[in-house]
Structure 1
Amino acid sequence: MQKIIDPHLHFFNLDIGQYNWLKSENPPYWDDKGIIQKNFSEKDLMLGPHLNLESFVHVEAGFSNEQPSKEIEWLEKVISKPFKSIATCNLQQNHKLFNKNIEELKRFQSFIGVRDIIDQNGHKLLPNQEAMRNFEILNENKLIFELQIDKLSNTNNEFIKEITKAFPNIKFVLNHIGFPAYSHNNFDTMCLLKDLNQCENLYIKASGWEMMNRNYELIFVENIMSALINHFDTNKIMLASNFPLNLFKGSYEELWDNYFHILNDEQLTHKLTYQNAKNIYNI
């Protein structure tokens, strides 16, 4: 039986959470949004008997952007497995309020870091004094920052290199490989990933394929993983699901079976599907 730690998934409780992004009248305007407009919990992570989901990392899903602790409080009441949680944050928030939120979040056993979806705004954060103060708060607390940008590019790479160097105590985790362009020719992606390997405190989660193309072919995943493995430290790469958004393409079990099919090296597979997440998130 293969052990798994899934380092990137989301649960929803539409009865008590806000989830404004999930509402049909709000962006993103996806024709298939209805697939995920429902409650999702631990029981929905269905795998065959050959796979054992030992733990996971829950990444904020918009439960309450104004009060980040509310989502963590709910999660710790309903989840039975050992897990870690990533709370939402606003890097441009007043640093005193930001620090207050961090201190409140630190009361929760599962809390290990935060995410603010940066997309195209990385260059705007560097001269922003409040953002830099807030990064310093994360740095002092040695927390994880989930780094979500809109695409891999030279401009975003320069931002990543500068911010990771400025705050060495933060573990920066690049979500969804930085959304590389959907292409079967991944030369540009290879070069950009190789460029980021110099960032000592940068880690990468390979997931979110359905966000790059709903009908992606497995060869795309194979090529991206090949570029990652050949040009980035394999101790800093994690495979993840992005559940329930992976359902836009296929089932949870199908996704993990595809990962194991692609990686035919037993030691490497163990690292990318289990050990690296265990080490990085201290699960």
Structure 2
Amino acid sequence: MKIIDPHLHFFDLDEGNYEWLKHNPPAWPHLDLIQQNHLPAALQNIALFKVAACVHVEAGFDNNHPLRELEWLANIVPPLPYKAVAYAQIDSPHEQFRNALHKLQHPSLVAIRDITEGDDAQRLQCEHTRQNLCYLAEQNIHFEAQFEVHNTVISRHMYDIYREQPAATLVINHAGFMTEGRDWQESIKLLSQIKNCVIKFSGHELLDAPIAPQHQLSALLTYFGSERIMLASNHPVCLIKHDYETQWQHYYELVQQVDSKVWHQLSFENAKRVYKLAV
């Protein structure tokens, strides 16, 4: 079965800085499995799925000079078709942001991510952030938002920004960390009303109390429909729970339980469209 993985990370610990992983690592289970080199060749050794294309999401290769990561990817990913999500500080002063984006010009660039989880979510309310998101839309580059959707203030703020930009695309990473015992329903319903808001079904291994995956997928299908959800591995972080093939086998079995007709859309077509992949 051909798949497109729209959220994974390649590492080369000798080539890149990876300050967050080498020198200040998170307290993840099985961290030793993640603190290794992870390169495209490993994705070709799985039996049940063929990775037809992928989207590499910035992994802190060099956040002071993020173009280095794009140049490194261009040397290691082809001939596998791919696109890249690069790092830029979304709340930086607007002129600084424009200059940073200009330095990131690269054929693979399709989006920007700046992680705004927890207290960092307040950076999305900065005046510069609104300007910078508008500028991204003008450049036909979308923003990969990574925050907890149960933060209703931030979810409403993002909705207000994108309501004014109906042509702009917003991608929510890791299903907005929908967590058991948190009030995420209101925000998911609100964000789904943004015409070009797409959500990735991924990152469950990062949560202490994830919602049962079949309930989560059913809720997302209810609000976003089958055309705005993308299954994604978050490799190699998924190794906290599953190896790469097991992760995709889990997704396949889950979709068969919930709605088998949407598998190809969720595992291939939506990512191909959103990331403009020539596959």
Q: Is the 8 A contact 1:60 1:87 kept in 2?
A: yes
2: CA distance between counterparts of 1:9 and 1:15? 19
Give CA-to-partner distance per residue, 1:225-251, whole Å, 9 cap, x none. 111112222211000000000011011
**Using the alignment, how far apart are the partners of 2:87 and 2:144 within structure 1?**
10
Q: 2:143 matched to which residue of 1?
A: 145
1:71 aligned residue: 69
TM-score, normalised via structure 1 length? 0.89
| AA partner of residue 15 (structure 2) | I
Quick one: distance in 2 between partners of 1:228 and 1:198? 12
Conserved? CA contact 1:46–1:253, under 8 Å: no
The one of 94, 113, 118 equivalent to 1:115 is 113
Question: Over residues 54-97 of structure 1, what are the superposed CA-to-partner deviations in whole Å (9 max), with x where a residue is unaligned?
Answer: 00100000011111111000000111201000000102223223
2: distance between equivalents of 1:253 and 1:241? 9
Q: Which residue of 2 aligns with 1:83?
A: 82
RMSD value, Cα: 2.1
Of 48, 51, 76, which aligns to 1:50? 48
* Alpha-carbon offset, residue 157 of structure 1: 2.0
Q: Which amino acid aligns with 1:200?
A: K
1:211 lines up with 2:206 in the alignment: yes
Q: Percent identity?
A: 36
Q: Which residue of structure 1 lines up, in the alignment, with residue 253 of structure 2?
A: 261
Structure 1 contact 92–130 (Cα < 8 Å) conserved: yes
CA distance in 2 between counterparts of 1:45 and 1:145 reads 26
Tell me which amino acid in the other structure corresponds to 1:281.
Answer: Y
1:224 aligns with 2:216: yes
Secondary structure of 1:235's match?
coil
- Change in CA separation of 1:156 and 1:47 when aligned onto 2, cut-off 3 Å: farther
Q: Give 1:270's aligned residue.
A: 264
Paired with 1:202 and 1:109, the residues of 2 have a C-alpha distance of 23
Provide the rounded CA distance (Å) in 1 between the counterparts of 2:239 and 2:221. Answer: 26
The 1:26/1:50 distance shift into structure 2, 3 A limit, reads: closer
In structure 1, give the amino acid aligned to 2:214: E
Instruction: Give the match for residue 194 of structure 1.
Output: 189
Q: Which consecutive unaligned segments of at least 5 residues does structure 2 have?
A: none
Q: Distance in 2 between matches of 1:134 and 1:33?
A: 34
**Structure-2 separation of matches of 1:151 and 1:161:** 11
> How is 1:244-259 mapped onto 2 (pairs within 5 angstroms)?
244-259=236-251
Residue 18 of structure 2: aligned partner: 19
Tell me if the contact between 1:189 and 1:227 (Cα under 8 Å) persists in the aligned partners: no
Q: Is contact 1:182-1:212 (8 Å) kept? A: no
Q: Offset at 1:156?
A: 2.8
Compute the TM-score of the two structures, normalised by the length of structure 2. 0.90
Please say if residues 116 and 147 of structure 1, whose CA atoms lie closer than 8 Å, have aligned partners that are also in contact. yes
Q: Following the alignment from structure 1 to structure 2, what is the Cα–Cα distance between the partners of residues 73 and 160?
A: 31
| One-letter identity of the residue aligned with 1:17 | G
Matched, 1:60 2:58: yes
Q: Which residue is 1:238 aligned to?
A: 230
For residues 149 and 273 of structure 1, the distance between their equivalents in structure 2, rounded to whole angstroms, comes to 23
Q: Deviations over 1:129-186 (max 9, x none)?
A: 3323322221210211000003433223212211222343431100001101146xx9
Q: Tell me the equivalent position of 2:157.
A: 159
Question: Residue 234 of structure 1 aligns to a residue in which SS?
Answer: coil
Aligned to 1:92: 91
Query: Given residue 146 of structure 1, which amino acid in structure 2 is its aligned partner?
Result: E
Q: Cα gap change, 1:92/1:48 in structure 2, threshold over 3 Å: closer, same or farther?
A: closer
The offset of 1:46, in angstroms, is 4.9
Q: SS state of the match for residue 115, structure 2? A: strand
Provide the secondary structure at the position in 1 that maps to 2:11. Answer: coil
Matched AA of 1:245: V
CA distance, structure 2, for counterparts of residue 242 and residue 151 of structure 1: 18
Change (3 A) 1:124 1:83: closer
